[in-house]
A = this chain, B = another copy of it.
Amino acid sequence: MTEHVTVREQDLLDEVRQWLSENWTKEIAEELRRENVYWETSAARKAWLGNVVEARWAVPSWPEAWHGRGLDNDQAKLIEREFARVKAPGAGQDRNNLWANTLLARGQEALKQQLIAPLLRSEVNMCLLYSEPGAGSDLAGIRTRADKEGDHYVVNGQKVWTSGAATADYGMLIARTNWDVPKHQGISFFFCPMKQPGIEVRPLRQITNESHFNEVFITDAVVPAGNLLGSEGTGWQVLTMALAYERSTMGEAARGPRSGVREGKNEEPLLALAREAGRLEEPNLRQEIAQAIAYKRLNALNTARAKAELTQGNSSSIMSLGKLAMSRILHEEGRIRTKILGAGSLLEGEAHPRAEDANFLSLNAYFTSIGGGTDQIQRNIIGERVLGLPKEPEVDKSLPFRDVRTSG
């Protein structure tokens, strides 16, 4: 699609290009490329981000009071594109910085003053304290409690599927502050300080024998009243907004092979694997491989078409379509890789990278078909929000939460 650049925007383009040419030097680019830490952010990166924030390129659509320029989204996009063109990080955070956006939208003045800038500079590490063992699909069923005592809240409960909890400074926490109202109305949303005795983080071992997540045990943890976002009892709305930010930026979380052993280049992985295994000529496999590739390509076409079509508002529904499609794609890829390897898939380990990949991908597919809303929940969402089918009777929707039936 062709771009119609107005004069005002031309000035903007000139400015950002000018600034980048002066500041995004080869040396800095090199330095940032070198360092590649998983959770931690390097000093060099923080420094660069500092400059970007300073120059008001980080969140151009935000008000000037908050490091922004009050631009509209299209103008902000231009800046983002310029940064992307030269592969410079730090722009577009008004679109993709979940933490800062949530805080700006619902945080109290003091907390914003304290954390917005550091968040934009990635000086603060964050994590999500949403899911609980008893509240997975039914997130509003959380039982972690936050009881107000004077100028702070005392929090008790357990969270699960938290990534980055060990290194996080704050966690975006939903906890129940009122047990006498229906489940959606008694929840509050906090920035919970993680570096305190009341917070115990235990790594969670996945079926893939990795640990990318934690369980977080919260015992009499203290959260200043000033860290409440929105008002007490409006946590569900804050959460809904935060989840929307997440979705709008979340690409598919699917991971590729982990063996790291390269497969055929520029070729569909399943084709390359079948070729390598000398089984590419088998008609049964050819059909299954073609169909699996088709699922992937069709989902890409859908996403492309959806992106071209959609306005912010109904993005979630399309995301749901993509996520559901992706979980079939991933399970099929695992299944067919296993089939191609045959007896070889009985093995694993470094000496057997193909088996390692086939088995890992087969198990890790559940990360998508269960995580972030199971396929079954996704089908409900698609059926109800996209197709407009009626909801099921919700037995617990209007009960006071203390009367709601929960597991065990």
Q: How far is the CB of A205 from chain B (nearest CB, A)?
A: 30
Residues of chain B contacted by A282 (CB below 8 angstroms):
283
Dominant SS among interface residues on chain A: loop
Q: How far is the CB of A333 from chain B (nearest CB, A)?
A: 20
Query: In the assembly, how many copies of this chain are there?
Result: 2
Cα-based distance from A283 to B287 in the complex (angstroms): 11
Cα-based distance from A282 to B283 in the complex (angstroms): 8
Does A393 lie at the interface of the complex (its beta carbon under 8 Å from any beta carbon of B)? yes
The range of chain A's interface size is under 10
Instruction: Closest B residue to A395 by CB, please name it.
Output: B393
Does A284 lie at the interface of the complex (its beta carbon under 8 Å from any beta carbon of B)? yes
Residues of chain B contacted by A283 (CB below 8 angstroms):
282-284
Instruction: Closest B residue to A282 by CB, please name it.
Output: B283
Q: Which of B284, B392, B393, B395 contacts A287 (CB 8 A)?
A: B284
Residues of chain B contacted by A393 (CB below 8 angstroms):
393, 395
A29-53: which residues lie under 8 A (CB-CB) from chain B? none
Residues of chain B contacted by A395 (CB below 8 angstroms):
393
Q: How far is the CB of A280 from chain B (nearest CB, A)?
A: 14
Q: How far is the CB of A87 from chain B (nearest CB, A)?
A: 46
Q: How far is the CB of A44 from chain B (nearest CB, A)?
A: 56
Per-residue interface assignment for chain A, residues 394 to 406, with 1 indicating a CB less than 8 Å from any chain B CB and 0 otherwise: 0100000000000
Per-residue interface assignment for chain A, residues 284 to 327, with 1 indicating a CB less than 8 Å from any chain B CB and 0 otherwise: 10010000000000000000000000000000000000000000
Cα-based distance from A282 to B286 in the complex (angstroms): 13
Instruction: Closest B residue to A394 by CB, please name it.
Output: B393
Q: How far is the CB of A398 from chain B (nearest CB, A)?
A: 14
Cα-based distance from A284 to B282 in the complex (angstroms): 9
Q: How far is the CB of A331 from chain B (nearest CB, A)?
A: 19
Most-contacted residue by chain B among A282, A284, A287 (CB, 10 A): A284
Q: How far is the CB of A100 from chain B (nearest CB, A)?
A: 43
Cα-based distance from A392 to B282 in the complex (angstroms): 47
A140-185: which residues lie under 8 A (CB-CB) from chain B? none
A346-401: which residues lie under 8 A (CB-CB) from chain B? 392-393, 395
Q: How far is the CB of A289 from chain B (nearest CB, A)?
A: 13
Instruction: Closest B residue to A283 by CB, please name it.
Output: B283
Cα-based distance from A283 to B284 in the complex (angstroms): 6
Most-contacted residue by chain B among A283, A287, A395 (CB, 10 A): A283
Cα-based distance from A287 to B287 in the complex (angstroms): 12
* Complex A-B: 8 CB contacts under 8 Å: A282-B283, A283-B283, A283-B284, A284-B284, A284-B287, A392-B392, A393-B393, A393-B395
Q: Which 3 A-B pairs have the closest CB atoms?
A: A283-B283, A283-B284, A393-B393
Given A283-B283, A284-B284, A284-B287, 5 more pairs with CB closer than 8 A:
A282-B283, A283-B284, A392-B392, A393-B393, A393-B395
